[in-house]
Amino acid sequence: SPVAETFRVIQGAMSEEYVRTTQGVFQFELSGDDGGTWYIDLKTKGGSAGLGKPPVTADVVMSMSSADFVKMFT
């Protein structure tokens, strides 16, 4: 799916540098195809991204359609 593929690319692009400089956790509440709760953790060592709630409390929660999410990251 486009959402899962976007998160796969995000996960692959993560680095300790991004985590060190960003220090933020982002939660996405997506509606539509492949909706649900997804996250990007740029605070915890190594960083992570994927489906579900983040491993630590989110600093930012964004609600949008899955189509808008994919557009935002492409």
pLDDT one-digit tens code per residue, 9-66: 999 999 999 999 999 999 999 999 999 999 999 999 999 999 999 999 999 999 999 9
Task: Please give the single-letter amino acid code of residue 10.
Answer: I
Lookup: tokens for 22: 């960003």
Residue listed under structure tokens 């486009």? 2
Residue boundaries of the structural domains of the chain: 2-72
pLDDT, tens digit (0-9, with 9 covering 90-100), for 51-66: 999 999 999 999 999 9
What pTM was computed for the model? 0.92
What's the confidence (pLDDT) of residue 63? 98
What's the confidence (pLDDT) of residue 32? 96
Residue listed under structure tokens 């609600």? 63
What's the confidence (pLDDT) of residue 55? 94
For domain 2-72, the CATH class is: alpha beta
Q: Return d(Cα 27, Cα 63) in angstroms, integer.
A: 9
